[in-house]
Structure 1
């Protein structure tokens, strides 16, 4: 399949320390088949210098197609993704966190199943493949695996990492999905709703993971895990 442009959706909240580094990594990536990059940054009402950092970066790199949107009220990662998804103009889009946990150099690994005509949706799994993975939190890993297992039960998928940030979608397909979750409940909601689209082709590829600690800015916590389980029940069982 021929893709002319990939939209890269970046939700950002107080990421002034790392946003320019992730933009440098995105800039350095040469996509398959000369695919163009559209970078959509959604600032979820940051209270640090995120906006100024992005503006300064864009002024120095005018060749990059960067579109910036800001929420006037902090709504959550899911809400930022809703905004970015609806603004995307590429044939496909990928979700990229503003921190440095995921490596844009692996975009092409995600794109291959699409460009080769096999996939409509591609998830990047932190739990498969031989790429580097930082060793961090035992209970986070267990929680991720159990949430993925529960999500697979209601969606009839066999994913290894439902909670991954790296998700690549056919833009028209994901824009037609009605999404409600404002925070990290986005992950199970979108997975379950995508799985119910007739003839949708979902693939998974192994990716690396350079996780960060809470001192380094990690934001997800146990309450988000509880919400994710609630969303699996809500959208997987009670919304059939």
Structure 2
């Protein structure tokens, strides 16, 4: 049976987390998986925890767990916490707004039929990807500039480091996330940089994504932080912080 841990970082997601959990419940009722869903509450100030707890009580057949960070530490740290908690053979994470639909899960699993594949990442730039409600012009432009810089200086061959849909073999995830340090949006680039350095094999897959109109991304300020993170990643590497991972 397919064995899967899903990690969903959540910060003030009281209005979006329940539809996401219902969609996952529907998916797993129709597909034969051994699974766990780990919601990592990233210091939410709203009723996110209450909504998740009520969903767990009202849906005892939904294999739902809740992990908590005492304060808001950023998506990177929330995902890292989820990786530490995850138990199943394949570990994935995606966003609380379910921008990448559950239908992508089955496609991702097919790649792991090849024993040499360690990581599968969603690529919204793939020719077969389907993007519903494309992001604003400003977000597209800033995204293209960031992707160019990532590809030029950090990750050659990766055209979409920021897609929120990433899937790992358990051992690869555990090894990579022991070394991650970036707390917020730049963590995607960091984990892929570490994976490349350790010679894990990464495959890009097309995805079907629906951009959320309620996105809280701040294009200018978040972009500046992400650009700064690129320099931090390079500095960390020079310090040897990403050494001695070892491919299993």
Scaled by the length of structure 2, what TM-score is found?
A: 0.86
2:141 corresponds to = 142
**Cα deviation digits, residues 21-77 of structure 1 (max 9, x gap):** 111111122499833121011001111111111111111111121110111111111
- Residues 39 and 67 of structure 1 are in contact (CA less than 8 Å); yes or no, is this contact kept in structure 2? yes
Deviation of 1:113 after TM superposition, in Å, equals 0.9
Task: State the shift of 1:130 in Å.
Answer: 4.4
3-state secondary structure, aligned to 2:65: strand
- Contact kept? 1:126, 1:133, Cα under 8 Å: no
Q: Which residue of 2 aligns with 1:46?
A: 44
Q: Distance in 1 between matches of 2:228 and 2:138?
A: 19
Q: Which among 227, 230, 233 is matched to residue 229 of structure 1?
A: 227
Match of 1:210 in 2: 210
Find the residue that maps to 1:78 and give its secondary structure: helix
* Number of aligned residues: 235
1:194-220: CA deviation from partner (whole Å, max 9, x where unpaired): 11112x21111111221123xx24234
Given the two structures, how large is their TM-score scaled by the length of structure 1?
Answer: 0.89
What does residue 10 of structure 1 align with?
8
Cα distance in structure 1, aligned partners of 2:135 and 2:2:
38
The correspondence for 1:102, drawn from 85, 100, 103, is 100
Deviation at 1:143, TM superposition (A): 2.0
C-alpha separation in 2, matches of 1:12 and 1:166: 15
Give, in whole Å, the separation in 1 of the partners of 2:22 and 2:64. Answer: 12
SS in 1 for 2:38: strand
Alignment match, 2:61: 63
Structure 1 residues 29, 117: CA separation in 2 closer, same or farther (over 3 Å shift)? farther
Structure 1 residue 20 displacement after superposition: 1.1
Superposed CA offset, 1:142-190 (max 9, x none): 2222222222233453122111100111221121121111111211111
Distance in 2, Cα, partners of 1:207 & 1:126: 6
Give runs of aligned pairs for residues 1-240 of structure 1, distance below 5 A.
4-30=2-28, 34-128=32-126, 129-177=128-176, 178-198=179-199, 200-213=200-213, 216-236=214-234, 239-240=237-238
Counterpart CA distance in 1 for 2:116 and 2:12 is: 37
Structure 1 SS opposite 2:145? helix
Q: Is the 8 A contact 2:138 2:219 kept in 1?
A: no
1:118, distance to aligned residue in structure 2 (A): 4.8
- Choose 95-104 or 146-155, whichever is displaced more: 146-155
Unmatched 5+ residue regions in structure 2? Answer: 239-248
Q: CA RMSD in A?
A: 2.1
